[in-house]
Every structure is written in structure tokens, then in C-alpha cells.
Structure 1
């Protein structure tokens, strides 16, 4: 990153990725995580094509020098390890406490955050073994939208000003049309 922005260290855990069904949504979870300031994403389940696709996007659009993408076999173990090492775990669910009530507290922590988003029905274990169950709203909604809104609230919009030093392409903002230039 350039332009001196330093954001809280946050990672995303995508639960129960099903390659035949979730490829597009999980890709978008990872792209949002990267674009909105997370340092990486852990994907529960095997999908080498998905991992390659996400890594290719970071090589072209930036972040490959710091954005970590990894598959894991057991999300519960990761959550337990994260908490045992002093990190904070946050499960985004429509059944949780509204993010507005907790975002100030979460912003004050100086330890890495693990933000958990589901795919299929989330095992009740997560509701009882995380530090926070947070809701963007108490209506059904997309995990992609929930993650984007949460990260934006966490970083107070600063993530929207990120410039990825290692990007090969860069968008030049315009009122009309599209302009993309090669870096370096």
C-alpha cells in the first residue's frame, strides 16, 4: 500500500465453501475482503481453481505482496486458535447485535480480527464460540454486502482511498466512460 494508510489487521474466514455452488459468491467475498482492507481470507474447503483466480486478481489489481488467501479444512480449529492467540473473532449474522452498537468497541482493539461469514447453514458452534455475533441488519441479506459494510464501518471509509503499489492496472476515475492504465 502506498499513501500512508495503515488499517487494523483483519482477516476473513469463509465457512463451508462448496465449489460447485459457491464459486462466484466466495470469489466476491475474497475480492471485497481485499478491496476493503482485509489482509487475507481463509476459505474452508478445497478449490484450487478459486484460489488461483483470486491470486490472479491480486497480481493484476494489487495486493499480492500482502493479501493472503488460503484454504483450510476446519474453520472451528482456526477460530479456536485465533482466540487462543489473543485475536478477536466476529461472526457476521443477521441474528447478532447491530454493528452500530459494537463498532466503536471493535475499533479500539489492537489485536488481529477474524471476520466470519457463512455459506450454507452455519453450525451453532460458531454462535457460542466467537467473541461477537454482529448483524448489519436483522433481515436476510448477502454475506458479501455484510462484509463490505462491516469493513467500511471498521475502517471509517479510509479503505476506499487505498492505492495498491504492486498493481499492474489502475482505474482512472471518470464521470463517463472507462479508463484503465498500466502501471510501471
Structure 2
């Protein structure tokens, strides 16, 4: 069984180091870390010197990726640099953009209408719920009123007959009862 090599702590760092060693040439395991560091430093210095020379010739555009003046030129996806004033191909597609804006506006209006409908439905449900609660409270009140009235009727202990007409007349301390039935009694007033 071959001896397993010890992996460095940072896998990304080891991958980058191996790629840089491979760029130097030869077997990447044979390149020592000191040579690797020197090679990377030389690459950085070379890039800085190139940008410095370009800055002296062009100005700040030397530090951009393409080095072109964005006011006068445009770089196409193919990598071709085109002068804006000479090209008809760089005009904006106004019909396409206006259709996107129109579709977006229509979509937003549909969302607004849907939200307004949902809000109206919720409001309608809330109002119906409040009306139901009010009716329930009124019904409970009416039941309580009926119960209290029945209790009052029971406390008078007067037999109730719809055919009987009772007329109560209070004269000082006496009570007279006129009735068509002889079995009508008044025990409490």
C-alpha cells in the first residue's frame, strides 16, 4: 500500500499552489514553496508594470478590464471594439423595452386588482362576522328579557289564561279582581 500524503489544512490553497506550480512547468511536486512565492511575486510585478506603462499612455482607462473609453467606444460580447458613432447596431431596441414596460405595468395592475379584491372580501367577511355577533348578542339579550319576564310572571303566581281578562284596581290597601273564571287567584303583587 502506498504511503498517503498529508493534506494541507486549506484545500483551496493547496489547489491554487498546485496550479501555480504546474504553470511554472515540470512536476508540480518538485517546485519548492520559495520558488512558488517568487514566481507569484514576479507575476504581480509584471502585471503592475504593464498597467503602469499603459496608464502613462492612456490614463485611468489602463486599469479597467478592456482599456477602452466608454464614451466613444463599446466592446461587444464577441470582444470586438466598436466606435459608437459609426455603428447602427448599438441602438436601443425601444419596441422591446416598451413592451417589457407595458407587460410589467399590466402585471402590476393585475396584482393591485387582485389585492383590492382580496381586501374587499376580507372586509365583507369581517362585516358579516360583526353583524352575526351583533345578532347573537341581541338574541341573547332577548332570551334574557324573555326569561326575566317569565320569572316576573311566575313570581305573581297568577294563572295565565288568554280568555281571562284581569283588571287590577288598587284602592288604598284592597285589591279587586274581576274575572270570567272563578279560579283566578292573586297572592303577590
Band the TM-score falls in, shorter-chain normalisation: under 0.3
Q: Give the number of the structure with larger relative contact order, counting CA–CA contacts within 8 Å between residues 6 or more apart.
A: 1
Higher percent of residues as helix: 2
TM-score (norm 2): 0.16
Q: Larger Cα Rg: Structure 1 or Structure 2?
A: 2
TM-score (norm 1): 0.17
